[in-house]
Structure 1
Amino acid sequence: MTTTARRMWVRFEPYHDVTYFTPESRAATDALGCKGGWMGYFGMRAAPLGAASAEQVTSAFYNFHPTRVARALPEAWDIASPETFLTTRLTGVDGALRAMLGDDVVDGAAVAEAAQLAVEAARHAPTAGRPLAAANARLPFPDEPHLALWQATTVLRESRGDGHVAALVMAQLGPCDALVLFAADKGLAAEYMKAARGWSDEEWTAAGERLRGRDLLDASGTLTTKAHAMREWIEDHTDLSAEEPWRALGPERTGRLAELLTPLARALGAANGAMATNPMAMSVDLLVEA
């Protein structure tokens, strides 16, 4: 059964996902002097935490190799302050949304209405024990509705993501182990996942061996019955921990927000090349069944 939290996630995630890897965001961080896209990514996403260390960010982001993070932080804070990175990420968001949706949609009544509903939902997103959610929730919502909507979707997705990390910890799946199991479940290529998160061939192989030792992968690298049950438990608990915003908003207004976000998500999914392949296995096709 698809939960309200899952149905809403596949609708608000594409709106959040217009930054970090779009050409507009890359141009904005390049203009700051960032050394490559990963420095821009870690600088923008970690900026709500303040001038966080590589170790803190590795812990909060969970599935990146520590050396991938350490190549960007803390050097990014020498290039620009966290406050500047926060401004820069909104510049990238604004440019990407306008490029993909057009000014008429971005400045239209539907986005403004969606922003009002999403901001209210985001104010109820759990933050206790959720560092990225708490850091983003403390930021003021921009005056422009399309940027306020982005900030709201960011709070909602980071709250959900922090809850997902908690479920992974409870399942005793370390960062690389979780990626190997997820990739096997979703049919994602190991080479792509290793490159996306910075893990070596040896580390990936060792994680697979650990999973086989726990009877979570068979000899061919396929999920076992036990692994399928674990993956279902993780996703169910991720959803369960993300329900509060929608309970607070109520069924009628949640339904209205879903109605407003669906065409935006479809348009952004079609226009955003970063969504074609991604380590979350997020696809706009999910909207058909959600």
Structure 2
Amino acid sequence: MKLLRYGSAGSEKPGLLDDNGHVRDLSGVIPDLAGNVLEADSLKKIAALDISQLPVVEGVPQDTLRLGPCVGGIGKFICIGLNYADHAAEAGMDIPPEPVIFNKWTSAVVGPNDDVVIPRGSEKTDWEVELAIVIGTGGSYISEADALKHVAGYCLVNDVSEREYQIERSGTWDKGKGCDTFGPTGPWLVTQDEIADVDDLAMWCEIDGRRYQNGSTATMVYKVAYLVSYCSQFMSLQAGDIISTGTPPGVGMGQTPPIYLKGGEVMTLGITGLGEQRQHVKRADELNGS
């Protein structure tokens, strides 16, 4: 299934994408795509529905119909750094002996086609196409062998990053990762049964039509099951938590010379089977008239 949330920001309703590309309304079945709704038994009940009996939502998704973040009420937005061997090489850094964990604040989460806003004073805002794991069944100290039983599905994330704040401003990476709008998520949560091999998905990102990132989840150092197990050793995972798993090479920081977003650009990105995103980049100082 491709599960989604549609409607105006803050008032999204749950839905799913049918085989004809139409959105079907799930609001008469579930309150939201959030929390316990994402557990395995709940997803089985949704999968058993007669989709043809669900109301059709007017509009074209990601065009005349806005899609919100595909997961509502996200409790934790966990991110993994330097998890692609080729990206670590691009950054001139060693592959970490254990996964690097940082966080994006949930206030950064926006829909897949919402605007991305460069913070005031930023000169080094960057892009990162990433595969994200959505937790369905929570737990602590999850074994790697059981980890995929705790996964509701996968989605696309743009891990927008301010490199000065992240690296040069005296603190953890979190400082440059969680600015408002820095977490476009969706367009849909794709359940595991639709992904033949999560370790071999093509992924890409373009800025104004120029392709900078053109990679694959095949170069991930720490794979999905390991990451779920690893993170659960340090925190309990709950339904609706997201783990964003890192990015392949081609980020702005890795260009020679580095290239950063200035405002006015259009970012487009996608992962095979998980859909695409498209964001217009704006500057906070221009939006606020200062």
| TM-score band, normalised by shorter chain | under 0.3
- So what's the TM-score if we normalise by structure 2? 0.26
- So what's the TM-score if we normalise by structure 1? 0.26
